[in-house]
Structure 1
Amino acid sequence: MTAAQARRRYLVLLALRWFPVGLSVPLTVLLPLDRGLTLAEVGLAASLQGLVVLVLELPTGGLSDSWGRRPVLIAASAVAVVAMAAQVVADSFWMFAVVYALQGIYRALDSGPLDSWYVDATLAADPGARLEKGLSEGATVVGVAIAAGALATGGVVAWVEVPGVPTLVVPIALALVVQLAGLVAVALLVSDPPHPDGRRTLRASLRQVPAVIVSGVRLVRRSRVLPALLAVELSWGFGMITFEALLPVRLAEQVGDREAAAAITGPAGAAAWLASAVGAALVPLVTSRFGVARTAISLRLLQGLSVVGMGLLAGPAGAIAGYLATYVVHGAANPAHMTLLHREVDSGQRSTILSMNSMLAQPAGSLGLVVLTAIAGGWSVSGAMVVGAVVLALAAPLYLPALRAESTQDGVPRGGSRST
């Protein structure tokens, strides 16, 4: 497989992975409410997803490194299909709790193996490949797919009627069909290299998971760069609450009406994902001129400034302008960060390190939700956004070890471990 073939397959699989998310996200709360759940029950059921992800994140990352990317991706896609099918028929708190638990299993299995497969396949074909190019194209596809899915849901709910099927269920059924297509695509497009120990079995791979996790932890401990990169995720997870959770509250404060704020937030969310795609598409142009680490540092500072704009610019238009600017930077920051992360690991620990990176965002996001909502309620929403912006910007110095590594070892092929 050539690097170009790997990139094309990667982008197709990402589109099939994230378009159903765009279809279902606008209905995450509305569908269970329509089925008779209270808002508190929805929140309690949804909390199971984060708990399951937190518990399974590292073991599933280790499983991807020991068993292979393809079987884990197939398992993840199969669980996603079951979760979506359950969501179509769920009509009680306990059924929705099962849906969210299954989604947690899916997210844990899905966290890392596709990116790991793409990076491994690319480096096998071209050890000197610019990883940020493919990763930025992937982030662009993710943004477009989510935005397209969200817009499609709005159109389906407004204009499509299927006899015997409730209106809010139609987009979920469409998402189920796309996820089935994604399962087939994974089986056809993803292939793993031969395992050095011969045919890989699930039982043998499960026995190897603890050793793989321990190996990943040791790699982090020996590295000068990886601990700082993983710490960035703590800042990022905390600060993302400003634009993921507080924007509707800020808009409601400005327009004086929650329903009007909700009406603005929907289209703004779709536009934000398109803005994210634009930011991701610009990454290769910027990194080719300034380098990946310098770009990452600048983006952390710019994201802090854009969140300040969300909190301080006057009127709904100012808040939305800051919101879109935030997502442009957010879309660009992810491929830059992931490129630096991939440079520090090899195939044997790649998914494990990605799972560590993802896992750290969970408690950081929970802490951010508690702290920033408390500040918003006790002081002001703008004040909470400024605090979150400062935390986001404080991550910039954490890229300095990666900058030193990039400056002193610029001739080393990307993707090789630099942990010494």
Structure 2
Amino acid sequence: MVLDPLTARRRYSAVSFVFWLPIGLCVPVQVLLLTERGVSLSALAALFAVHSLTAAALELPTGGLSDVLGRRAVLAASGVLTAAALALTALGTTVWPLALAMVLKGAARALNSGPAEAWYVDTVHAAEGPDAALRPGLARGGAAAAAALALGTLAGGLGPWLLDRDGRLEAATGLPALAVPLLIGALISAFYVGYVLLALPEPPRPPATLRGVLAGIPGAVASGVRHAARDALVRRVVLTTAAVGSALGVVELLTPGRAAALTGSAGGGAVLYAVLACAGFCGTALGNRLAPTAARLTGSGERAVLAGEFTAVLGVALLCVTAATDLLAPAALGYLLVYVGIGAASPSANEFLHRRTDSAGRATALSVQSLALQLAGACAGVVASALPAGAAAWLPGLLGLTAGALLWTRRAPAAREPGAGPRPATAPAPSSR
């Protein structure tokens, strides 16, 4: 069954929303919960690096798995692992269970990094042909994910404060109130598994044995890597994603601690960070929705990416110069600009990626992109944690994002707007398909 593009867009948006809602619940409480359990900043950076490096190590194999086995099964597996990771984070009290939770979460992120978007693009192409406009649907999916993160972050930050203002919940159950959003997120992830299996139809695939599936993964991985290395425009998109990862790795590591320092307590920091993160994700949703308009007003998708990236650079610069001060308003504005700029740039950059990649390697190409995000985020977070507190700690994100923006100051090679038709990947599809 081939869905019409409008239905495909709605289901893609719904899948994006439900997957990211539990992650949003986790955002404002995870760092503070682990800090309350005695985990140091350097250990936190190491745990985040475990998450990012696990995702990085599995990005290409799981992207190849999606191209060989199918999108739906891989997405369902990501939901199962997310549920397990969130439950383990909520209940774990020592470093090793928390490290295992980060491994599971990284594996889930790798499994989810491309299949849903690849399913949407494949479905639209099957219904309308290769010249179908992708930017509006990609923008709506990104906006749905950002809205889920915003709603989840707000609920995750305010929920513990509302549930346990007097400390009775923890006294009665032994469970910190900061752990409750993680357990709720685990339940939502279980629901996500069922929705994916029911709502995302795929064309029948040839019966495949486990050996055949595993044998097809290296070919899919090699195809995606060769495509990203040989195609100059795809390479530019991947490098831009790495620059975004360096900024997000620093922002997400340093902001919760600064919020706690400003309020004087972990609970107050969770509330403040929840409000900031909610505003940031709403900014991402706004940027996503403005992406088609930005491309129209600037005259091309390339200039829309450039405008969005420089908006994010300005945001990180504000965070950097206000790091050693109590100036909350400029810092909050900088935080918002980071997410608005990234949200505005992403749909146009990804449309270039999809128009240069065919269906057989689409999920793998997205995994290459996500791999760049994870590796850059992990490296920037580790470097930031080793630098002195204050403005210096924000520099890895600022320098990385600036370098990514500068990539778009000259015209992209052979960049084409919708209607020009896709350019297939340079390598053939895996033989197992």
Which residue does the alignment assign to 1:345?
Answer: 357
Q: Which runs of 5+ in 1 are unaligned?
A: none
TM-score normalised by structure 1 residue count: 0.87
C-alpha distance after superposition, 1:284-316 (max 9, x if no partner): 222244232221122223322333333347832
- Give yes or no for contact 2:45–2:253 (8 Å, CA) kept in 1: no
Listed as ranges, the matches of 1:309-328 within 5 Å are 309-312=318-321, 315-328=327-340
> Matches of 1:36 and 1:377 in 2, distance apart?
19
Distance change (3 Å), C-alpha of 1:312 and 1:251: farther
Which residue does the alignment assign to 1:62?
Answer: 64
Distance change (3 Å), C-alpha of 1:193 and 1:212: same
Pairwise CA distance, 1:78: 1.7
> Matches of 1:11 and 1:70 in 2, distance apart?
15
TM-score normalised by structure 2 residue count: 0.84
Listed as ranges, the matches of 1:20-419 within 5 Å are 20-35=22-37, 41-127=43-129, 128-160=131-163, 164=173, 166=175, 167-195=177-205, 198-241=206-249, 243-247=251-255, 264-289=272-297, 290-312=299-321, 315-371=327-383, 377=389, 380=392, 387-388=399-400, 390-397=402-409, 400-401=411-412, 404-406=414-416, 411-413=419-421, 415-417=422-424
314-323 vs 3-12, which moves further: 314-323
Pairwise CA distance, 1:165: 6.9
Matched residue type, 1:296? V
Matched residue type, 2:221? I
Which SS does the other structure have where 1:229 is aligned? helix
Distance change (3 Å), C-alpha of 1:8 and 1:50: same
Pairwise CA distance, 1:209: 0.6
Distance change (3 Å), C-alpha of 1:292 and 1:200: farther
Which SS does the other structure have where 1:186 is aligned? helix
Distance change (3 Å), C-alpha of 1:418 and 1:291: farther
C-alpha distance after superposition, 1:92-146 (max 9, x if no partner): 3222222111111111111111111111111111123221101111111111111
Distance change (3 Å), C-alpha of 1:155 and 1:224: closer
C-alpha distance after superposition, 1:227-268 (max 9, x if no partner): 222222232223334533455677799x69787877644321
- Give yes or no for contact 2:65–2:74 (8 Å, CA) kept in 1: yes
Which SS does the other structure have where 2:420 is aligned? coil
Distance change (3 Å), C-alpha of 1:368 and 1:93: closer
> Matches of 2:224 and 2:367 in 1, distance apart?
10
- Give yes or no for contact 2:83–2:185 (8 Å, CA) kept in 1: no
Which SS does the other structure have where 1:396 is aligned? coil
Distance change (3 Å), C-alpha of 1:302 and 1:84: closer
Q: Alpha carbon RMSD of aligned pairs, Å? A: 3.1
279-288 vs 388-397, which moves further: 388-397
34-43 vs 388-397, which moves further: 34-43
Distance change (3 Å), C-alpha of 1:312 and 1:92: closer
> Matches of 1:302 and 1:388 in 2, distance apart?
14
C-alpha distance after superposition, 1:312-336 (max 9, x if no partner): 4783211211221221111112222
> Matches of 1:251 and 1:181 in 2, distance apart?
32
- Give yes or no for contact 2:27–2:156 (8 Å, CA) kept in 1: no
Would you say how many aligned residue pairs link Structure 1 and Structure 2? 412
- Give yes or no for contact 1:304–1:389 (8 Å, CA) kept in 2: yes
Matched residue type, 2:107? I
Which SS does the other structure have where 2:274 is aligned? helix
> Matches of 2:372 and 2:355 in 1, distance apart?
19
Distance change (3 Å), C-alpha of 1:306 and 1:41: closer
- Give yes or no for contact 2:307–2:345 (8 Å, CA) kept in 1: no
170-179 vs 240-249, which moves further: 240-249
Q: Taking every aligned residue pair, what percent have the same amino acid on both sides?
A: 31
> Matches of 1:326 and 1:419 in 2, distance apart?
34
C-alpha distance after superposition, 1:32-51 (max 9, x if no partner): 44556555554444432222
Pairwise CA distance, 1:170: 2.3
Which SS does the other structure have where 1:91 is aligned? coil
Which SS does the other structure have where 1:365 is aligned? helix
> Matches of 1:317 and 1:61 in 2, distance apart?
41
Matched residue type, 2:285? A
> Matches of 1:298 and 1:194 in 2, distance apart?
42
- Give yes or no for contact 2:157–2:271 (8 Å, CA) kept in 1: no
Matched residue type, 1:98? L
Distance change (3 Å), C-alpha of 1:32 and 1:240: closer
Which SS does the other structure have where 2:139 is aligned? helix
Q: Which runs of 5+ in 2 are unaligned?
A: 428-433
